[in-house]
A and B are shown apart, each in its own frame.
Chain A
Amino acid sequence: DGGITQSPKYLFRKEGQNVTLSCEQNLNHDAMYWYRQDPGQGLRLIYYSQIVNDFQKGDIAEGYSVSREKKESFPLTVTSAQKNPTAFYLCASSISWDSTYEQYFGPGTRLTVT
């Protein structure tokens, strides 16, 4: 089955710790995205990658970092510099950066930082 996997589903961390969220896709998509979802705020774009070995900041990149060393993988690190890290994080991918192509979403990771 082709799709996007995110692990783990739930993640708990202490304040001041960095944490890395996993995102893997077997759809052979070039473009990948990370969104953050907070209640009542919709989804906001953190980082995106148009192609392997390339990525750009989205609207709320501060306190986050990413890498794209392999086409199928786009991990997100939430650093201790992120002031409000508790949220639902969604990874997505699309065939290409062309806006006519649908974005496919993973099941999400709920991060709680205390």
Chain B
Amino acid sequence: AQSVTQLDSQVPVFEEAPVELRCNYSSSVSVYLFWYVQYPNQGLQLLLKYLSGSTLVESINGFEAEFNKSQTSFHLRKPSVHISDTAEYFCAVSDVHTGGGNKLTFGTGTQLKVEL
């Protein structure tokens, strides 16, 4: 069985400061990794994903995440946050193998609050 741990339920940060949202996973098989963002009272939007290849993946709005297999982590970072980044961020994993299908296991989420 898979599990995803997001240890920080809330992360307050000042605008233009760097931020890191932590994600660790546990799985007996190879996984794909995802970060989703949720704005208040809305659905989730995919921020970025790791399927294979380069372990560093980037989003169009300046976020990046690095897959670290030895530490089973996929932390999300941004060098300089903006007020509009205030949202809840979810880390998720799915099985690489076809048998597992497209079944996502989500972490409990991290609320990023950017302050002036």
B residues 65-104 near A (Cβ < 8 Å) are: 90, 94-96, 98, 100-104
Question: Across the interface, do A43 and B102 meet the contact criterion of CB distance under 8 Å?
Answer: no
Interface majority SS on A: helix, strand, loop or mixed? Answer: loop
Given A42-B109, A43-B90, A105-B45, check contact A100 B104 (CB 8 Å).
no
User: From residue B92, how far is it (CB to closest CB) to chain A in Å?
Assistant: 8
- Report how far A44 CA is from B98 CA in the complex, Å: 21
Contacts of B32 in A (CB 8 A): 99-100
Contacts of A31 in B (CB 8 A): 102
Question: Across the interface, do B102 and A97 meet the contact criterion of CB distance under 8 Å?
Answer: yes
A residues 62-107 near B (Cβ < 8 Å) are: 90, 92, 94, 96-107
Question: Across the interface, do B102 and A96 meet the contact criterion of CB distance under 8 Å?
Answer: yes
Question: Across the interface, do A105 and B44 meet the contact criterion of CB distance under 8 Å?
Answer: yes
B residues 102-116 near A (Cβ < 8 Å) are: 102-104, 106-109
Number of interface residues of A (CB under 8 A): 30
Is A34 an interface residue when CB atoms closer than 8 A count as contact?
no
Question: Across the interface, do B45 and A42 meet the contact criterion of CB distance under 8 Å?
Answer: no
The listed residue (A6, A90, A96, A101) touching B44 by CB distance below 8 A is A90
Given A100-B32, A110-B41, check contact A94 B106 (CB 8 Å).
no
Write the chain A residue with the least CB distance to B52.
Answer: A100
User: From residue A114, how far is it (CB to closest CB) to chain B in Å?
Assistant: 20
Contacts of A100 in B (CB 8 A): 32, 51
- 17 further contact pairs, Cβ within 8 A, besides A43-B106, A103-B102, A107-B43: A6-B43, A41-B108, A42-B108, A44-B106, A48-B101, A58-B103, A90-B43, A99-B96, A99-B101, A99-B103, A100-B32, A102-B46, A103-B104, A104-B46, A105-B44, A105-B45, A108-B43
Q: Interface on A for B, CB 8 Å cutoff?
A: 4, 6, 9, 31, 40-45, 48, 50, 58, 90, 92, 94, 96-108, 110
Q: Interface on B for A, CB 8 Å cutoff?
A: 4, 9, 32, 34, 36, 41-46, 49, 51, 90, 94-96, 98, 100-104, 106-109
